[in-house]
Amino acid sequence: MTRRTTLIRNFSILALIIAAALQVSGALTVNPRPDPVSTGGLAPLEVHGAAARGIVERLQGHYRQLRFDDSLSEKVFNRYLRDLDPQRLYFLQEDIQAFDRYRLVMDDQLRKGDLAAGYDIFNLYQQRVSERLEYLLAKLEKGLDELDFGTDGSVLLDRSEEPWAASPEAMDDIWERRLLNAVLSMRLDGVEDDEIADRLKRRYSSQLNRIRQNGPEDVFQIYINALTQTFDPHTSYFTPHNSENFNISMSRSLEGIGAVLQAEDEYTKVVRLVPGGPAAKAGQLKPADRIVGVAQEDQEIVNVIGWRLDEVVNLIRGPKGTSVRLEIIPAGSASEHNTRVVVIERNKVMLEEQAAQKRVIEIERSDDEPLRLGVIRIPAFYLDFDAYHRGDANYTSTTRDVSRLLQALNDEEPGIDGLVIDLRNNGGGSLHEATQLVSLFIGGGPTVQVRDARGRVQVERDKVPGSLYSGPMAVLVNRFSASASEIFAGAMQDYGRAVIVGDYTFGKGTVQTLLPLGHGQLKLTQAKFYRVSGSSNQHLGVVPDVELPYLVDREEIGESALPNALPWDKIDPTQYKPHFNLTPLFSTLREQHDQRLEVNPEFVYVREQLALLQEQREKKAVSLNEKLRRQEQERLENRRLAIENNRRKATGEELLKDMAELRALDEQRALDPESANDGEDDSPDPYLLETGQVLADLVQLLQDKQVAKSN
């Protein structure tokens, strides 16, 4: 044996000894892939593994720098189960125990592009959903007469925190109660039993057909988004098909209804309406409405519960001039089975229809001449990027339009005593335009700070000296004022340039970047906005100085309602010089405001409606006894009728005789755009009028302060 051969043999023996020792100590222990739970047939495509590895790599650049470890794995695991079965209506306790083998290995698998856990869990999910729908259809085949509506039982309205069902029999009981509730809800809504059975059969059959059509791409998208949205709700994966839809919508060339939608549980939920879009103009669709059915023109409505968001969007989209019918569960509805149908004509959302508009309103004062207030409504922060980059001197932008409107208001005789910037329902848009708009009112200085994932802070500044308007101002906002709107409102608040009136704003203070992948795209949160004072708008929103009551549930709408939203925080303020210190005046403004609201019939009505809605939201369960449910509904309807008539009596309108007249009025309000315009017609709405009163109070306080200073 040569010396070289001996050395090789000795090194081989040494390597074996080291390997054996490490295996004993656990250092080289390799976690084998867990045995699958399900026998389902969906499996990832080859391209999905590479895409998963690319997404994991890009997530290292996320603003929230999470480590890929067991803690992250557990978060993804819980998020995936929540996305699939949010109300714990399908998986059994034994299923969850079987899935536990994946709880701490998802991070390792995803780094390697191994998607076994996601597909295995989904396959069993698909099986369990099919079992439940088949159970319901079998119950309906026996007839509604077989159901017991004299029971003393109840059904839970929210099962998201309940234990998983311990057995198939326990799950049967849950679903029988849900079926009883569905039938009861429709009976109380005046639907005949034959129609109830027919509707439910169509609904459950549609859901069953849909669940059986899922393919590998569907599973990949759901599983990967459980990963991305563990980081934050705005980090999302788009499949190649959805990437195309996203790009179309961003270019504003999409022909549809002009609504921003999101998936929530098994429903498609309206997040906001695009200003100037068909849905906003029609006035029939509202944020927080849930879409459960879609029909083309006069065709039969297709049930879309359980459908993917992109599939629902494809059904709603269509050629300009055609109509789409949407079956919706109205926001705040006590039952998911009390639906109504709205009709919207499709059209393009044109940039010019989002343009800022002006008006002048007069605010009556008890002992003085009426105050003339200019109002500029800004539906969106828009910029014609193509014309801007071409160097077109006539490019369209928010700031240029507002400048022109301000100049026109300044040139009017008589002039204006104050200015209201109305940002209600303004979901944002161009950051450039938001900072430019700030510059019209501050005369130089920082406008917003942007902090990236590495902690580096960039300050955007107004470099143009002087301001276009320096008089008293109010900014009117609501829960749907978001992003760029919050940047502008926050700057006005920090500089003391305006009193902020309305509701807490949406609370979106993050910046996203679209990154291409070999298979689809990733929208990644990479930075965060901060105000010049150092405070973030994220999660909290802009807190109004004077608050108005709105029929909006902040637990359902806004950044704080989204799982894993980045938290509120603050950084060091940048150097800026406030124009005024309005804070000492706020207590007086609020006191005078509260006195008006106590006797204003419109806001008394809103407060009473809010109290009633809050009571309904706090209900954990409802009775399944038909007699008790009818009594409960009668009490609820009597309260609603009393609230409506209290307002009508205070405003001198004719009182309604009974619930039949109130239902007819509700239907008219739902279908008549003029009754749901939120101040977009020629007559000022109560919110704008009260904002005008607050601004008039501010004008008076500033004048008194100036007189006292002069004396």
Distance CA 513, CA 235 (A): 9
Q: Which of 95, 153, 105 is nearest to 129 (CA)?
A: 95
CB atoms within 10 A of CB 471: 15
Q: What is the 3-state secondary structure (H, E, C) of 246-262?
A: HHHHHCCCCEECCEEEE
Concatenating the DSSP letter of every residue in 300-345 gives: PPEE-TT--HHHHHHHH---TT-EEEEEEE-TT-S-TT--EEEEEE
In sequence order, what are the beta bridge partners of 260? 272
pLDDT class of 353 with cuts at 50, 70, 90: low
Contacts of 93 (CB under 8 A, 6+ apart): 163, 164, 165, 166
Helix axes 216-231, 116-141, angle to 10 degrees: 110
Distance CA 238, CA 245 (A): 9
pLDDT at residue 304 is higher than 80: yes
pLDDT for position 684 = 75
Least reliable range by pLDDT among 117-121, 212-216, 252-256: 252-256
pLDDT for position 408 = 93
Rg of the chain taking only CA atoms, in angstroms: 29
pLDDT class of 32 with cuts at 50, 70, 90: low
pLDDT for position 10 = 46
Region 644-649: mean pLDDT is: 93
pLDDT at residue 406 is higher than 90: yes
pLDDT for position 706 = 75
Concatenating the DSSP letter of every residue in 414-445 gives: S--SEEEEE-TT---B-HHHHHHHHHHHHSSE
CA 218 to chain centre: 22
Write the pLDDT tens digit of every residue in 136-152. 999 999 999 988 888 88
The Cα-based distances of 131 to 89, 94, 175, 207 in angstroms read 11, 16, 11, 12
Q: 553 — phi, psi (to 5°)?
A: -90, 110
Q: 670 — phi, psi (to 5°)?
A: -70, -35
Report which of residues 436 and 249 the model is more confident about: 436
Distance CA 14, CA 16 (A): 5
pLDDT at residue 619 is higher than 80: yes
In sequence order, what are the beta bridge partners of 621? 156
pLDDT class of 635 with cuts at 50, 70, 90: very high
pLDDT at residue 29 is higher than 60: no
Checking DSSP bridges between strand 290-296 and strand 323-329, what pairing results, if any?
antiparallel
Distance CA 265, CA 279 (A): 23
pLDDT class of 12 with cuts at 50, 70, 90: very low
Q: Which residues of 250-289 are buried (b: 16+ CB within 10 A; e: fewer)?
A: eeeebbbbbbebebbbbbbbbbbbbbbbbbbbbbbbbbbb
Catalytic residues: 483, 494, 508
Write the pLDDT tens digit of every residue in 664-692. 887 777 665 444 444 444 567 999 999 99
Report which of residues 329 and 595 the model is more confident about: 595
Q: Which of 177, 182, 192, 144 is nearest to 337 (CA)?
A: 182
Helix axes 216-231, 46-58, angle to 10 degrees: 10
pLDDT for position 306 = 78
Q: Which of 213, 283, 226 is nearest to 669 (CA)?
A: 283
Distance CA 204, CA 700 (A): 62
Q: Which of 178, 58, 40 is nearest to 111 (CA)?
A: 58
pLDDT at residue 248 is higher than 80: no
pLDDT for position 437 = 94
Contacts of 141 (CB under 8 A, 6+ apart): none
Distance CA 51, CA 243 (A): 14
Matching residue, tokens 């039949």 = 660
CA 344 to chain centre: 21
pLDDT for position 289 = 87
pLDDT at residue 341 is higher than 80: yes
Distance CA 92, CA 166 (A): 6
Write the pLDDT tens digit of every residue in 389-405. 787 777 888 999 999 99
pLDDT class of 243 with cuts at 50, 70, 90: low
Checking DSSP bridges between strand 418-422 and strand 445-452, what pairing results, if any?
unpaired
pLDDT at residue 17 is higher than 70: no
Mean pLDDT of all residues in the chain? Answer: 87
Report which of residues 438 and 241 the model is more confident about: 438
* Cβ–Cβ under 8 Å, residues 551 and 613: yes
Distance CA 565, CA 559 (A): 7
pLDDT for position 152 = 86
Distance CA 420, CA 463 (A): 24
Q: Which of 86, 99, 103, 176 is nearest to 140 (CA)?
A: 176
Q: Which of 480, 474, 543, 504 is nearest to 688 (CA)?
A: 474
List the structure tokens of 38: 């399900």
CB atoms within 10 A of CB 595: 10
pLDDT at residue 446 is higher than 70: yes
Region 37-61: mean pLDDT is: 91
